[in-house]
Amino acid sequence: MHCANCNAALTEGTAVCPRCGQRVEDPFLGFSMAWYKFLINFALWASAAVGLIRGIRVMRGAAYGAYREDIFLLFPKLKVVSIGAGCVVMAVAFLAVVAAQKLRAMKKSGPMLLLLFCGLNFLAPVALLLLVPWATGGTVGPLDAMNGLTAVSLLESLLLFVINLIYFKKRAVLFRQGGH
């Protein structure tokens, strides 16, 4: 947080700038910021940690259990798809960290990065489901590869995208700082 008059760095809760004496405005302009604080202090960091673990598990073919090596021998393209998908999942996890930092700094790019994170959380499993038939030579279809957890995850990602779009659109005025 910085003074609007002299750009001096201010600590949270400062009412008057110690350098120029200017009264400091409420940085949140009266908006409730509970969701924002939850995102930057917990949700995005937890998503990053879970995403990193999930990415490693996807790369290793953990979904195939004890038959992983046999399945990869039978469908070598599936191993390539699994490694690629795991890398994408870990990249999306890294994006969660970047989004949290940009949001915390009230950067204009913060809400956009959050929406990108939510969108990629939706698109990554969809892409994986669409690549499974190719990787298995049509033996396994996309609906065969989908389980209840995948369906819930897709719905959750879509819902979070919409909620964050609405939430941050109403608070766009708060994220005016330039920079990326």
Give 159's contacts (C-beta < 8 A, 6+ positions apart).
Answer: none
For residues 82 and 135, state if they share a domain.
yes
For residues 24 and 89, state if they share a domain.
no
For residues 26 and 38, state if they share a domain.
no
Structure tokens at 15: 């009412």
For residues 8 and 60, state if they share a domain.
no
Position 179 in a domain: no
For residues 74 and 10, state if they share a domain.
no
User: Three-state SS for 107?
Assistant: strand
CA atoms in the 13 A half-sphere facing the CB of 86: 17
B/e letters for 163-173, b = 16+ CB within 10 Å, e = fewer, are: ebeebbeebee
DSSP string, 9-42: B--TT--B-TTT-PBPPPTTTT---HHHHHIIII
The CA-to-CA distance between both ends of the chain, in Å, stands at 16
Position 180 in a domain: no
For residues 144 and 77, state if they share a domain.
yes
For residues 170 and 103, state if they share a domain.
yes
Structure tokens at 42: 């917990």
Structure tokens at 90: 């870990």
Domain with 7, as residue range(s), is 1-30
Q: How many of the other CB atoms lie within 10 Å of CB of 107?
A: 19
| Domain count within the chain | 2
For residues 95 and 148, state if they share a domain.
yes
Q: What is the full per-residue pLDDT of the chain (180 aa) written as tens digits?
A: 677 788 888 776 677 888 998 887 665 655 678 899 999 999 999 999 999 999 999 999 998 999 999 999 999 999 999 999 999 999 999 999 999 999 999 999 999 999 999 999 999 999 999 999 999 999 988 888 888 778 898 999 999 999 999 999 988 888 877 655
For residues 5 and 65, state if they share a domain.
no
